Amino acid sequence: MNNNRSGRRQGRRDSKAEVTSGLPVNKNDEVVLDIIGMTHEGEGVGRVEGYTLFVQGALPGEKVRAKVLKTKKQYGYAKLLELVEASASRIAPPCPIYDQCGGCQLQHMDYAAQLKWKRQLVVDNLERIGKLDVVKDGADGEPLGERKPSGEPGEAGGEADERLLAERKQIGESDKDGEKTDGEARSPVKAVPGASGDSAGVSTDEVSTGANTPAPGGPTEAAGQGRNAAPGEAFRSGGIVVRPTLGMDEPWRYRNKAQVPIGAADGGLVGGFYARGSHRIIDMETCLIQHEHNDAVVSAVKRIGRELGISAYNEETGRGLLRHVIVKKAFRTGEMMLVLVTNGRDIPHVDAWIGSIREELQDVVSICQNVNTQRTNVIFGGETRVLWGRDVIYDYIGDVQFAISARSFYQVNPAQTEVLYGKTVEYAGLTGRETVIDAYCGIGTISLFLAQHADKVYGVEIVPEAIEDARSNAELNGMKNVVFEVGASEDVIPNWKAKGVTADVIVVDPPRKGCDPRLLETILEMKPERVVYVSCNPSTLARDLRVLEDGGYKTVEVQPVDMFPWTVHVESVILMVR
C-alpha cells in the first residue's frame, strides 16, 4: 500500500515535470527581452519565443536583461538586471525607498505616460473583458476600436493573452476594513482574497500597451483639460468614447489620510509601509504622496511612543500594544485627526502621550483610540472612543461640508474627488427636476453633490455607521431633499420602487469587486434613463457594463480620472443611457 502511494506521488511529480518541460527558459536563466506591455500591477511584459515573462520595474518600449525567477506553464517571472534600451518615459524615482516600499508602483514612469497608460488600461478592459467597441477619440491618433491580429508584433493582447489572463485571474478582491479600496499603499492590510467575506468578483490581470511615450503637450494636455466634447457624441457614432485621463497639475502630496502599520526594531517603534510583496515594515519619515502634516504627526507619535516605552503589536505572538497610526487631514479647514489603533483598551502614560501630541501638533483637534484585539489583518476593531477633542473633523468637497469620523470612508485625494464628482453630476444630466438613486452612498459624498442639482436623492449603504454619517452630513448642509437608508442596494431599491419611487438616474460607486449581480438586475428592472457608474477597477467595470449593455443600455462615454498618481490605480466615470 505504501508502495502504491509512493508510486502515485512519483507519477504526479513526473506529470508536473512533463507540463513544464520544453519551455524556452528555465529558472536562473538570463535573457534579453523587449517589453511590449504592462500588467495592471505595473509589471513589464516581455516574451521569449512566445513565452511570457513578467518583469517588475520594466516599462513598455524597453529592452532589458533579466534573470528568470520562476516559471509556470504559460508564463513566468523575471528580475530586471540591466536596461539595455531605456524608454523615453523612464525617470529617476524621487522617493529614496521606492525600490523597497510597495506603496507606489510607477515612480519610475513619467507622469504624462502614466496618464496615457491608465487610459489604455481602461480601453483594454472594455474591449477584452466587456467585448465593447471603443472608438477613436483623438488622444493618440489610433482607432482604438480596432485591435491588431493575435500575435502581431508590438501587441500584448490577442488570443494567447486571453488564455494567459484567464489563468492569472484573481477571485474576490477584498475591500479593506469594509471600505472601498482607494489606492492606498496597501500598507495596513495583507492582500488576502476574500478576507472581508466578499463574494467572488472576477479581477483579471490586465496587460496594456501604449505607455512608452508621453502624450503631446505634457501632463496638462494628456489630462484632457479643455478637450472634452459633449456627452452623447459616442452614442450618435455608435461606439464608446474614452476620454484622455484627467490628471493633476501637481501630482505629489495629495493624500489626506495616512494608515501606518507599527512594528518594533532595536527595541523601538517603527512605522511606514510594507515592503513590496511582504509584510515586513519599512520605517520611513516622509512619503511624497502624503500631505506633509500627516508625515509630521506619524513621526511625532512614533518618537513620543519610543520615549514613553510604548510597545508595538506583534502579529506572530499577538502581544504588544500599538498596531496602527491613522492620520486624517482636512485640506480646506486644516483640521487633523489622530487615531491610535491598539491591542487593548489600556494605554500606558496616556495623559503624557496626549499632552505631548497636543503641545507639538497644533492642528490636531481630535485624538481617538480604536481597540482591536483580534488576530486579524483588518485594521479597525469594533470599539472607537475619543481620548481628547472632537469626534469628527470638518472638510469640504466643492461647496458641500462633511464631518469625518475615525471610521468614515472619505476620498483620499480631495482635489481629484471634486473633479470626479463634477463629472458624475455632468453625466447625470441634472436639471433640478430629477429623482436620483445613489446605490453605494457611503457617508453621502456623491449623494450630497447630486442633491445640489436634483429634485430628490435617495442614498443606500449597507454600513449603518456610514448612513448615520450621511444623515448628519445632510443636516450639516441643510439639505432636505435627501433620504438615506441602511441595507443592500438590491434589497432596498426594489422596496423604494414598490413605494412609488421612480429613478431618472441611478449612480453606482461600488467597491473593487464591482456591483452585486442582483443590483444590476434591479437597475434593469427599474429602467432609469441614465446610469452613471463610478469605478475603481477597470476589469469589474467592464464585466458590469457588459451585463447592462445586454440588458438594453448603451455605454456612451468613459472619463478616466487619476485619483492616485504614481500608483497603478485608476478611477473612471461612465455614462450609460437606456
DSSP result, 409-451: ---S-HHHHHHHHHHHHHHHT--S--EEEETT-TTTHHHHHHH
Asked whether the beta carbons of 222 and 115 are under 8 A apart, the reply is yes
The DSSP result for 95-123, as a single string, is STTTTTBSS-S-TTB-HHHHHHHHHHHHH
> Torsion-angle region of residue 349: left (phi > 0), alpha (psi -120 to 50) or beta?
left
Q: Is 536 a catalytic residue?
A: yes
| Structural contact between residues 559 and 533, judged by C-beta atoms closer than 8 angstroms | no
Q: Are 370 and 430 in contact (CB under 8 A)?
A: no
* Dihedral sign, Cα of residue 435, residue 441, residue 446, residue 452: positive
Rounded to the nearest 5°, which phi and psi values hold at 173?
Answer: -60, 120
Cell readout for 199 is: 463574494
* Residues in a beta bridge with 571: 561
Annotated binding residue 369:
no
Catalytic residue among 101, 368, 441, 536: 536
CA distance 446 to 559: 17
Look at the block and give the residue holding cell 483640521.
335
Residue 569: partners with Cβ closer than 8 Å, 6 or more residues away: 183, 536, 563
The candidate with the shortest Cα–Cα distance to 329, out of 234, 381, 254, 386, is 254
DSSP 519-542: HHHHHHHH--SEEEEEES-HHHHH
Query: Is 440 marked as a binding-site residue?
Result: yes
Binding residues: 411, 440, 461, 509
Query: Binding site for S-adenosyl-L-methionine, residues?
Result: 411, 440, 461, 509
Q: Which residues are catalytic?
A: 536
